[in-house]
Amino acid sequence: MAKEKKANVLSNAYGASMEKIVSLAKRRGFVYPSSEIYGGLAATWDYGPLGVALKNNIQNIWWREMIRMNDNIVGLDAAIMMHPKTWEASGHVENFTDPLVDCKKCKTRFREDKLDPQAIADKKCPECGGELTEPRQFNLMFTTHLGPVQDHGSVVYLRPETAQGIFVNFKNVVDTSRVNIPFGIAQVGKAFRNEITTKNFIFRTCEFEQMEMQFFVKPGTEDEWFETWKTKRMDYYYNKLGILPENLRFHQHGEDELAHYAKDAYDVEYQYPFGWEEQEGIHSRTDFDLSRHGEFCGKEINYLDPQDNSRYIPYVIETSAGLTRSVLVCLMDAYEEQDLGEDSRGNKDIRTVLHLHPNVAPITVAVLPLVKKDGLAELAKDIEMELREDYETFYDKSGAIGRRYRRMDEIGTPFCVTIDYDTKESKDQTITLRFRDSMEQVRIPRSDLAARIKLEIKNYTRQA
Ligand code: ATP
């Protein structure tokens, strides 16, 4: 196998600063500051052509793993605005608050629960040492008005999580789908929280997307299902999104973190440059949600088990992941700068590469004619059109081939196909298939290409 150069890793995801990721995301069209022509809006971001492709790929894998790969999980897409009673029943009106403290000197606002315990004990601002105010409880739900009259009665909330849409539709799904407990309902959608501190790029924003699944089980079986879902969800991060195992861990909620109704809760945490932070919550929620909605709507929400004719309020195991936060995890984890020694002019040769799993990479295959003339461009286009049936492709005919490879490395394209004179002249039209991670190249007949890429994706393991 031919190989371009030997790589020494300079900086990986963990060592990469957030500025580098933000800059790459902007430069290559993953994520832009929102309404930038007007100076932007604090902590709001738009997903560009590559960003939306990455986000859609993550969402599609999640959906596939939930809905297609499980007989007993069905999908749902509930409205963002729900009856205000939903949020009384769920406890959000009363309890969905963060303790807010302000610095009297520099006016910076903090979430008290995220401050260093020493700073709280001293009541000193970590930014400037100024005095901090007493904490005030601040509700994170955004309100708006439904209808033309803005009175108290028209207030509705933008949902702060997608889960409640699932609970209020439990009965509808049972009555209209052929599901029996244990079964799950999965949903992906926008959620809104008026976060006090939005920082770290798309990690914490006021408008974001969640991928949530509520799994309804018979009381008494919840511990078993909790373990099953913990295993399945971690496996998804390792094997479907290709996140490095050393950057993932479980964090079990302690007594002080656990909601009063919850039996157990684990977070899947990712190791960011700014520390370990939650990526997904896996919660054993008892019958709290369905019981509360039953109480507030005035009719118990229960389930008649056809197996033994018993009637009960199901228990819930919830898996609640951030979609937009997953985009950040994929980008950070994939990022690497490599020292490739010297280039042909004697300059330091640094390669920036995103080791994105082929499942999530915005472009799977780039097709590159070595030169434009002598019919190579047309032949390359023809090969690209053929691959388009199965893969997200990109055709690029301009610039030195090495530079074109690097442009693809930087956006995480796992495979490049190069078309040269041998392709045109050889009987079986051999092409060069180049692998992003290893920079190795193999020469194979055109007819083997689509199947070879399929196999490479199936067997993909990340190489430094
Ligand atoms: P945190 O402690 O980080 O505020 P949380 O415990 O409030 O998170 P959950 O309510 O469990 O989060 O939400 C489930 C998932 O939704 C989180 O694991 C995270 O991936 C995502 N999420 C929550 N809030 C935000 C936000 N403001 N911006 C982006 N993603 C978010």
For residue 365, how far is its CA from the centre of ligand 1 (angstroms)? 33
| All residues at 6 or more sequence positions from 260 whose CB lies less than 8 Å from its CB, including other chains | none
What's the chain's average pLDDT?
93
CA separation, residue 452 to residues 207, 337, 353 (Å): 40, 28, 22
End-to-end CA distance of the chain, in Å?
Answer: 17
CB 183 within 8 A of CB 216: yes
Find out whether the beta carbon of 320 lies less than 6 Å from any atom of ligand 1: yes
State pLDDT tens for residues 186-243.
999 999 999 887 678 999 999 999 999 999 999 999 999 999 999 999 999 999 999 9
For residue 94, how far is its CA from the centre of ligand 1 (angstroms)? 19
Nearest CA-CA partner of 285 in 211, 229, 207, 233 = 229
φ, ψ at 168 (rounded to 5°) = -70, -15
d(CA 215, CA 155): 31
d(CA 447, CA 429): 8
Per this entry, what is the length of the chain? 464
CB 74 within 8 A of CB 173: yes
CA dihedral 154, 160, 166, 172 (to 10 degrees): 10
* pLDDT for residue 288 is more than 80: yes
State pLDDT tens for residues 341-397.
988 888 899 999 999 999 999 999 999 999 999 999 999 999 999 999 999 999 999
State pLDDT tens for residues 318-332.
999 999 999 999 999
d(CA 387, CA 413): 14
Locate the ligand 1 atom nearest the alpha carbon of residue 280 and give its number. 18
CB 421 within 8 A of CB 372: no
State pLDDT tens for residues 437-456.
999 999 999 999 999 999 99
CB 30 within 8 A of CB 57: no
14: pLDDT confidence band, cut at 50, 70 and 90? Answer: low
| All residues at 6 or more sequence positions from 71 whose CB lies less than 8 Å from its CB, including other chains | none
For residue 81, how far is its CA from the centre of ligand 1 (angstroms)? 19
Q: At what angle do helices 449-458 and 376-388 cross, to 10 degrees?
A: 50
Find out whether the beta carbon of 432 lies less than 6 Å from any atom of ligand 1: no
Locate the ligand 1 atom nearest the alpha carbon of residue 210 and give its number. 16
* pLDDT for residue 82 is more than 90: yes
| All residues at 6 or more sequence positions from 119 whose CB lies less than 8 Å from its CB, including other chains | 125, 126, 132
Find out whether the beta carbon of 189 lies less than 6 Å from any atom of ligand 1: no
* pLDDT for residue 68 is more than 70: yes
| DSSP secondary structure code for residue 135 in this structure | P
Find out whether the beta carbon of 285 lies less than 6 Å from any atom of ligand 1: no
Map out the domains of the chain as residue ranges.
28-81+159-330, 363-458
* Level-2 CATH architecture, domain 363-458: 3-Layer(aba) Sandwich (3.40)
- From 195, 253, 283, 325, mutation site for ligand 1 pocket: most ligand atoms within 8 A of C-beta: 325
Locate the ligand 1 atom nearest the alpha carbon of residue 268 and give its number. 18
165 versus 107: the higher-pLDDT residue is 165
Residue 15's pLDDT is 57
Class of domain 28-81+159-330: alpha beta
| Residue whose token pair is 């406890």 | 91
Residue 1's pLDDT is 56
Query: What residue's CA is closest to ligand 1, atom 28?
Result: 204
Query: What residue's CA is closest to ligand 1, atom 2?
Result: 278
For residue 67, how far is its CA from the centre of ligand 1 (angstroms)? 23
State pLDDT tens for residues 134-148.
988 889 999 999 987
| All residues at 6 or more sequence positions from 432 whose CB lies less than 8 Å from its CB, including other chains | 417, 418, 420, 441, 442, 443
Helix, strand or coil, per DSSP, at residue 125 = coil
d(CA 234, CA 198): 27
For residue 184, how far is its CA from the centre of ligand 1 (angstroms)? 21
224 versus 42: the higher-pLDDT residue is 224
Q: What are the counts of helices (DSSP H) followed by strands (DSSP E) for the chain?
A: 14, 25
| All residues at 6 or more sequence positions from 62 whose CB lies less than 8 Å from its CB, including other chains | 188, 211, 236, 321, 323
Residue 320's pLDDT is 98
Find out whether the beta carbon of 278 lies less than 6 Å from any atom of ligand 1: yes
Residue 98's pLDDT is 86
